[in-house]
Chain A
Amino acid sequence: MSDKNIILKAENISKQYRLGVVGTGTISHDLNRWWHKVRGKEDPYLKLGEVNDRTKKADSDYVWAIKDINFEVERGEVLGIIGKNGAGKSTLLKILSKVTSPTTGVIKSRGRIASLLEVGTGFNPELTGRENIYLNGAILGMTKKEITSKLDEIIEFSGCERYIDTPTKRYSSGMTVRLGFAVAAFLEPEILVVDEVLAVGDAEFQKKAIGKMQSISKNEGRTVLFVSHNMAAVKSLCTKGIVLEHGKVVFSSDAESAVNYYLEKESFEKVIYKKEELDQLYSSDKIVINQLELCSDNFFSIENKTFVKINYDVLSDLSAFNFSLVLKDFNDIFILNSISDVENIKVGNYDALFEIPENFLNDLKYKLRLIFVNQSKILIDLDDVFSWSAVETEERKMNWFGKIGGVVRPELKWMINKLR
């Protein structure tokens, strides 16, 4: 492969952070570091540091936010960067956009990099919209001439014509974001870094924003680095994808496989409970739960069914027994309650299967409460026994990738007929 097509190349990028507050310890470390340097020795603190896993207690004061990252991006590619919170995505983007420098390693670039880390940077509330377009554009690296030539387009794209000569402190937050994104959208860098901008603005505006991103990469052949939690958007916008985990690149391939890899690795809280664990959760002399499982055909995707499997022993005959299942979202909003048929059951071993249909959940985090009921009284109550994130994995058939509202997203029927 010819080398000249590579527009951006990261070689062994690492970034070390110091944990804890900057205080008196810092000055002694600084002095020690300086003393080592004077004697021509290596920085003593660079050897320290461990993989960044925020759930574990650290042994040293230093931590590698990202470690030995290598990747290459070709001209015109859209690279999706996926990873859990704390995987090092933002650190990587910060280094790419020169906000901070890597501790070790080199990034080589053949083009200007502009970032949309956060839109509307440097807006001064006292200045009018028009003045802020100039200021913000200049901060992002445009010259005054460039901005003037695009001013009308920017104003039109933002949809703020009416307020353009009003100080931005009178703007609603949505308008500020629109104006900020409008400026950024008309940047013409060879490489554009986009981080979660899709999370802002209303539906109409998100559509515009995505459309702009697509045209930037497809029609104008410019390179985009895209960081998002929205797997559907990554899948349909990106051509390549890398997965970060604990500051390292663990997977690198085309976007689709990267998304699949990520979803497979995505950890869920308690998917299978074995008997020993279950014994801690309840006490009953009538029922013993042997195994409890939450599963799905495809990483809890909302396009597939999700199951709850219960295997239990009944120790004595029970009259009027049933299950009650409560589905809640992560804000404890009660979504639904599903109750099984009330039956008289005999002693024995049983299997129960509860099914949440495909195309029913939204891409949210959910919690389940499972209740065993006997004669309308609670026998066993397992609150929040399962919690998981349902994810959207298939490409949407529409040109919009923003969040679809609601605690559930059932596929309901639409009938549209052409009459004339």
Chain B
Amino acid sequence: MAKKTAQTKQPATRNANKRSAWWQSLWLWAIVGVVVLAVLGVLLVQQTATNSAATLAGLQSFSGQQRGHTTDPVQYQQIPPVGGMHNPAWQNCGIYDAPIANENGVHTLEHGAVWITYQPELPPATVDALRALVRGRQYTLLSPFPGLPAPVVASAWGLQLKVDDVADPRLARFLATYIQGPQTPEPGASCVGGIGQPIDS
């Protein structure tokens, strides 16, 4: 009798255990699925959240710039300069109608400014357009630069973009990206209290 009980017991129990095990493995796979989807979702969100600004076409990068102070004139490797040794006084940000000294401008770059230089012989309307581009902006320098290799050159610390046309949309993007941007060696440094009196700001 005991043997027969054992035999009738087993199939029912086995089936019930199989169903139970099936449910359990279903739950397990469901949880694994939720976790995988969650991780994928988080990665997707973080990917889209990070600054997806495509690199500016024509942007030049010059790394390894020195940062020290000197009162001597400096020979810079780039025209206009994008970094290196510089004067202890920074050039006050703003719009200038006369050239400013490289050694002061470079210090302003160190403080996070974008320095836009233009060929002095550009027509007044073009100069006005450049001024309109930077007017009201923080941490920008605009000045004529004799001997500039292109009509307009935008520089930030270690970065440079040459453009032919003041209406080039890359100029506005350069400003938006690099004014107090990630390239700034000295975040928090001021753009006032230095030398120079801009004609406009």
Do the two chains belong together in a single complex? no
